[in-house]
Amino acid sequence: MAINLTKGQKIDLRKTTGESLTNFCVGVNWGAIETKGFLGLSKKVQNIDLDLSCILIDENNTICDHLYSPLYRVDVLQQFGLPKGKLITVDGAMKHTGDDLEGDTGGDDGLDNEIITVDLNRIAANVSQIFFFLNNAGREDFSQIPYSKIRMYEGTPTQVKSEFASYNVSAEAQYAGKQSIIMGKLYKRNNEWKFSAIGDPTEDTFLGQTIHRIVRSYL
């Protein structure tokens, strides 16, 4: 039975068998905005481009690696002191499936739109925290997006074998004006990895602002 996380909840990465969860996917699923026209005779679909990203923090509370879309403009990233985006960590332990520019249309298809695969056994020894966050590349806020969910599961980017935990962000009024969400973090405690569901929405309109916020307020 998958764990339905609540804001601020912390969990051990242990399966019901007692084994540690070490090789898994972190995926985010979201829906496009669909509105009906006059008398419901037509339907308008507005694609939503969310970006799942993560930064890896070392024992000195310094960013030591990152995964975010290579489509971000380098000149804008440089204004925040950030390097070009990439899809594989230096140690090869984490891989991003790439940018989904649309979101689900016609309802939830059951698959995640953007996924980061994680092999904790290969994570560099100096990494102590890994933050996952979402930014909207468009102008919509999270109160307008019908659903958004982050989950951890065993399997592959195209096949879910066993869902371990999920954290759901529904379209609610509290997300009005919020264009990014710091979803959660993996963190190491006594050489054992755990997960914390953060779920903090922000007004950040660019990934660089969110990364600066994490470094300033969450380390």
DSSP per residue, 112-165: -SEEEEEEGGGS-TTEEEEEEEEEESSS--TTTSSEEEEEEEEEETTEEEEEEE
User: Which ranges of the chain have pLDDT less than 70?
Assistant: 1, 37-42, 101-102, 104, 106-108, 170-171
- CA distance linking residue 29 with residue 74, whole number of Å: 27
How much is the pLDDT for 171? 61
In the chain, the amino acid numbered 32 is A
Q: Which two tokens stand for residue 7?
A: 């804001």
Pairing mode, strands 33-36 and 43-46:
antiparallel
Q: Torsions phi, psi of 76, nearest 5?
A: -75, -40
